Amino acid sequence: IESVNIHDSIKIGSPDREKYIENYIETLENLGKCGINMVCYNFMPVFDWTRTDLAKMRADGSTVLAYDQSVVDAIDPQTFFNQTTSSSNGFAMPGWEPERLAHVKELFEAYKDVSEEKLFNNLVYFLKAIQPTCEKYGIKMAIHPDDPAWPVFNLPRIITSKEKILKLMKAVDAPFNGLTFCAGSFGTNPNNDLPGIIRALPGRIHFAHVRNLHHYAPGVFEEAAHLSSDGSFDLYEIVKALYDINFDGPIRPDHGRMIWGEVAMPGYGLYDRALGASYITGLWEAIEKNDKRK
């Protein structure tokens, strides 16, 4: 299931976090009883994935999600939230629920003393608290990396690189604790070696989001078609790395362009994601057929 959101009290480490952890455990129990064995989640403060343009026009006539750090630097969080939600084609976007973000200023105040170290420790505390329930029901927790992979509005980000995800895997060294490998999120930082991250985590990648971005400058990028030739990532090498570590979890094409006149939730158009799924499937088949080990 993608996603079961984590209450801000858990991330902040507020005195009432135990209540929300118990609620989360109850949700996990209900999911486990229904046979659901994987939960994708993130631990990003306040905002989920962040983009500054939800419909940037590309040369091919499609529109895509885009990010420009200079826009974030020149705006306050409340205005940014208002602009983002008003540009969503009337859809409630995942991670940007109005009922949760209606009081952005209060949320920022609550996070003012939360450092990167404290946020990480609160994540470890949460995972250890839910570990018995996850192991009882065979549920894998697959943390989604922060997007973009650096602090936004001075909020800490802790799942941004190979070193940081390995730190989490070591802190809670149990099979249930794993990663949603998201190429587009880790890839917001062009210094991240995407195949290298995959190869460093055999057995700990539970879920994969495969997509492409096009980088223009540090902190400036836009989402692209899945084809390697359309963006900055080599999708073949990403899929091959997943194949080489014997990844056997679900893969999805993640975000896509808005094409062919479709009006949908920004980033989640049906048509381009269907093209992406076909492309990823084709890459996997080609890699499998050329596997000299078989």
Enumerate the active-site residues.
144, 182, 209, 254-255, 268
Residues making up the chain, counted from first to last: 294
Rounded-to-integer distance, Cα 121 and Cα 11, Å: 9
**Cβ neighbour number for residue 19 with a 10 Å cutoff:** 13
- What is the DSSP code string of 107-146? HHHHTTT--HHHHHHHHHHHHHHHHHHHHHHTPEEEEPPP
Buried b (16+ CB within 10 A) or exposed e, 55-81: bbebeeebbbbbbbbebbeeeebeebb
Distance of CA 186 to CAs 23, 141, 221, 278, Å?
30, 18, 13, 23
Angstrom CA distances, 155 to 43, 64, 114, stand at 12, 25, 8
The H or E element containing residue 223 is: strand 220-224
Alpha carbons 119 and 43: distance in angstroms, whole number:
8
Asked if residue 238 lies in contact with residue 232, where contact means CB atoms within 8 angstroms, the answer is no
